[in-house]
Amino acid sequence: MSNASGSLNSLASSTMIDLSDHKAAGTSAQQLRRSRYATLTWGLVLGALGLARWGHVLEAGLTVASITYGGLLGVFLLGSWNRRANQTGALLGLIVAIASMIAVWRFTPLAFTWYVLVGTLIAFGTGSLASLFLSK
């Protein structure tokens, strides 16, 4: 339970800090309510992922890691290699990459060992295009 609690609190905290508008943060009670909703949302997401049939434990762990690591690497490379990259492009690239990799995992026979490469290319490509067309 302590691992689950720590994970949920970290995810909710990151959501509140990274995605909230600090200028319109609201009162402490409003922030607490949004934090609780974020925790509940992440709990539902992680619970749904836990109910999926993953197979062997080692393969399941590597598959879950591979689904997310490609998007993270793509966003890192986007920020390192693309001078026009911006926050909107990076966030959109990460979201599209993770959603795409979940679809690849669910609907294609592609081995999990390729997920990082495919996710990286999707995140970098989507982030580059979004940064180019959605610049501030």
Give how far Cα 81 sits from Cα of 73, 84, 119, 126, Å. 12, 9, 17, 14
Listed residue (57, 55, 69) closest to 101, CA to CA:
69
**Side-chain half-sphere exposure of 73, counting CA atoms within 13 A:** 14
pLDDT tens, 80-119? Answer: 999 999 989 999 999 999 999 999 999 999 999 999 999 9
Contact 117/124 with Cβ under 8 angstroms?
Answer: no
Contact 104/118 with Cβ under 8 angstroms?
Answer: yes
Cα–Cα distance for residue pair 59/63, rounded to 1 Å: 6
First to last CA, the chain: 43
pLDDT tens, 22-42? Answer: 656 678 888 888 889 989 998
pTM of the model: 0.68
Cα–Cα distance for residue pair 42/67, rounded to 1 Å: 17
* DSSP 3-state percent helix, strand, coil across the chain (nearest 5): 85, 0, 15
